[in-house]
Amino acid sequence: MQVKVFANLRQICGGVTVEVFPDGDKVIDVLEKMVNMFPPLEEEIFTEDRQLKPFVHVYINGRNIIHAENLQTKMTENDQFALFPPVAGG
């Protein structure tokens, strides 16, 4: 599955897209695999209780997972997965 990453996550992941082969079909499975691939990612996206940090957003096919089943949202290999970190600015 291709995951598009944005802002400072591109530096951590080494590019705009990352090829991820999750062990399951849920958003959490993709994110866990990405943390295994890029350990510094964990601090950027997860709280201590394994929830997404505030203002970290995951979109599947353009839809925020908070409007679905959050980290338990199921996906297929052909879905478009986008990961956005918190971004400050003004």
- pLDDT at site 41: 97
pLDDT score, position 87: 74
Amino acid identity, residue 6? F
What's phi and psi for 71, nearest 5 deg? -65, -15
Are 41 and 3 in contact, with CB atoms under 8 Å apart? no
**pLDDT at residue number 65:** 97
Q: What averages of pLDDT result for each successive group of 10 residues across the chain (90 residues)?
A: 96 96 97 98 96 96 96 96 81
What is the structure's pLDDT at 89?
Answer: 58
Q: How far is CA 30 from the centre of its chain?
A: 7
Q: pLDDT at position 86, please?
A: 81
How far is the first Cα of the chain from the last one, in angstroms, to the nearest whole number? 33
- On whether the CB atoms of residues 75 and 64 are closer than 8 A, the answer is no
